[in-house]
């Protein structure tokens, strides 16, 4: 969100960390809090991860960004099953579910960014992982700005 604020669009973006495999009240792992603090991001006052609600999130958010392929595969599978049950358009939902590493236009992210397992965050090179996440988020913001995201509106759907 710091990058969005610097680009002048912080007031119109909402970034949530849902945690697909967490429950409301689960604490944010300390290594994540510690590494985020090094980047100037204070997670100490954050509430624990919001509960992921597949149908609600698919209907109300433009993108669902997954940190690793395992989580993306699970979200896609669950979305496909839900679409069949509700007779919804799976293709519309599928297009919203992205892998963070695929957003980086120059594909310069290190291997850790696409094999990231957040539950093992403290056993990986946390600094590299946070750098990769930050770089991919900057690339995603650039894509949104190129699509016409401006403070107050988007010019393209």
Q: What's the predicted TM-score (pTM) here?
A: 0.71
The CA distances from residue 30 to 71, 84, 138, in Å, are: 21, 39, 24
* Residue with the larger pLDDT of the pair 102 and 151: 102
Residues 6 or more apart from 72 whose CB is under 8 A from it? 66, 97, 98, 99
Instruction: Name the band, by pLDDT with cuts 50, 70 and 90, for residue 125.
Output: low
pLDDT single digits (tens) 128-144:
777 777 877 888 888 88
Tokens of 81: 């099953």
The confidence score (pLDDT) of residue 12 equals: 77
pLDDT at 152: 44
For residue 112, what pLDDT is reported?
A: 46
- Identify which has the larger pLDDT, 97 or 117: 97
Between 156 and 125, the higher pLDDT residue: 125
Q: CA angle 70-73-78, nearest 5°?
A: 125
Q: For residue 86, give the H/E element and its range.
A: helix 69-86
Q: Of 29, 64, 31, nearest to 49 (Cα)? A: 29
Question: Which tens digits make up the pLDDT trace of 75-112?
Answer: 999 999 999 999 999 999 998 998 877 775 555 444 44
The fold of the 2-146 domain, in CATH, is Rossmann fold (3.40.50)
Environment class of residue 48 by beta-carbon count within 10 Å: exposed (0-12), middle (13-18) or buried (19+)?
Answer: middle
CB atoms within 10 A of CB 148: 11
DSSP 8-state code for residue 64: E
The pLDDT of residue 36: 80
The pLDDT value recorded for residue 46 is 56
pLDDT in tens, 4-42: 788 888 777 777 666 666 666 677 777 777 888 888 877
């Amino acid at each position: 969100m710091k990058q969005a604020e610097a680009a002048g669009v912080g007031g119109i973006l909402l970034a949530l960390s849902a945690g697909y495999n967490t429950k409301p009240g689960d604490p944010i792992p300390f290594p994540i809090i510690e590494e985020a603090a090094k980047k100037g991001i204070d997670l100490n006052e954050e509430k624990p991860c919001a509960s992921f609600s597949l149908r609600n999130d698919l209907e109300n958010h433009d993108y669902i960004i997954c940190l690793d392929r395992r989580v993306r595969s699970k979200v896609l599978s669950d979305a496909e099953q839900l679409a069949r049950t509700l007779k919804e358009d799976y293709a519309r939902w599928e297009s919203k579910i992205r892998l963070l590493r695929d957003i980086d236009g120059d594909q310069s992210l290190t291997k850790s960014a696409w094999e990231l397992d957040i539950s093992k965050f403290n056993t990986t090179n946390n600094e590299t992982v946070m750098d990769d996440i930050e770089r991919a988020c900057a690339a995603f913001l650039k894509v949104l700005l190129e699509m016409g995201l401006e403070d107050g509106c988007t010019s393209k759907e």
